[in-house]
Amino acid sequence: QVQLVESGGGSVQSGGSLRLSCVASGYINSTYSMGWFRRPPGKEREGVAAIDGDGSTSYVDPVKGRFTISQDNAKNTLYLQMNSLKPEDSAMYYCVADPRRHMTAIQALGAEGMYYNYWGQGTQVTVSS
């Protein structure tokens, strides 16, 4: 079993920055694929960024150039650095993990995250204009 605990959410003004963290515990190792999903108010869950077991990263177009996903394997921690935040980035952000080292683009960032086995409880991000 894997446990994921997110932190770092909050309220910021447009143009501001936040760094989300996700601490993983349990039976997990560096070969897992991990990522971030979000659910904006009244909308479906959507992918944000992913990192596979080899460290390759991928992003959805709306966040490219603004968000950076990274991980510290020694600390079992996944990060999402979010810069130049916009009101449309407001959402509950979820950390996800899966034992597969590699995932297709759809598996990694699509299908509302259905391909991930493990989910955190989420951390709220609110960006005001």
Give the model confidence (pLDDT) of 77-113 as tens digits: 999 999 999 999 999 999 999 999 999 999 999 999 9
Percentage of the residues of the chain whose pLDDT score is greater than 90 = 94
Kind plus residue range of the DSSP H or E element containing 2: strand 2-7
Q: How confident is the model at residue 22 (pLDDT cuts 50, 70, 90)?
A: very high
Which residue has tokens 């996903």? 69
- pLDDT the model gives residue 55: 94
C-alpha 39/C-alpha 28 separation (Å) is 25
Tell me the average pLDDT of the chain.
96
Q: What is the pLDDT of residue 29?
A: 87
Please give the pLDDT value at position 37: 98
> Across residues 39-53, what is the average pLDDT?
97
Question: Which pLDDT band, with edges at 50, 70 and 90, does 114 fall under?
Answer: very high
What pLDDT does 49 receive? 98
For position 30, what pLDDT does the model report?
85
Between the two ends of the chain, the Cα-to-Cα distance in Å is 40
Q: Which two tokens stand for residue 103?
A: 């995932």
